């Protein structure tokens, strides 16, 4: 196998791994939004240790990327659209990666 083919195979694997990570983070964002709604409307038992563990995990994983977006957005009252903005950024990055950068590598 030539060096060119090895580099191409490595880049494809790297792109697929990045794409998988972005896809998983998308689902974590969706789960976090649903969890926050269930918590806000008192659908789930907030005193349950497992529920608190899941909530803290989702908060700790999503908050570092959502906080800077919230600082840039105007105050919309009780509506938080920062997860939607972050999802749009993730979809843009995935599209940019596969439609612009990947064809140059392959």
pLDDT in tens, 51-63: 999 999 999 999 9
Q: How far apart are CA 13 and CA 72, in angstroms?
A: 35
Confidence of residue 6 (pLDDT cuts 50, 70, 90): confident
Task: Provide the 3-class DSSP secondary structure of residue 38.
Answer: helix
Cβ(106)–Cβ(12) below 8 Å: yes
In the chain, where the domains are located:
1-104
Mean predicted lDDT score pLDDT of the chain = 91
* pLDDT at residue 106, rounded to an integer: 58
Confidence of residue 3 (pLDDT cuts 50, 70, 90): confident
Q: How far apart are CA 34 and CA 36, in angstroms?
A: 5
* pLDDT at residue 1, rounded to an integer: 58
* pLDDT at residue 105, rounded to an integer: 64
**Number of Cβ atoms within 10 Å of the Cβ of 99:** 9
42: left (phi over 0), alpha (psi -120 to 50) or beta: left
69 CB-near residues (< 8 Å, 6+ apart): 82, 85, 86
Helices (H), the chain: 3-40, 49-72, 82-96, 102-105
> pTM for the full model?
0.87
């Amino acid at each position: 196998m030539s060096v060119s083919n090895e580099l191409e195979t490595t880049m494809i694997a790297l792109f697929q791994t990045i794409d998988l990570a972005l896809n998983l983070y998308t689902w974590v964002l969706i789960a976090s939004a649903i969890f926050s709604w269930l918590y806000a409307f008192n659908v789930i038992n907030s005193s349950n240790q497992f529920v608190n563990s899941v909530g803290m995990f989702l908060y700790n994983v999503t908050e570092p990327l959502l906080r800077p977006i919230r600082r840039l957005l105007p105050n919309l009252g009780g509506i938080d659209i920062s997860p939607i903005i972050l999802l749009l950024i993730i979809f843009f990055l995935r599209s940019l990666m596969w439609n612009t950068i990947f064809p140059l590598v392959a």
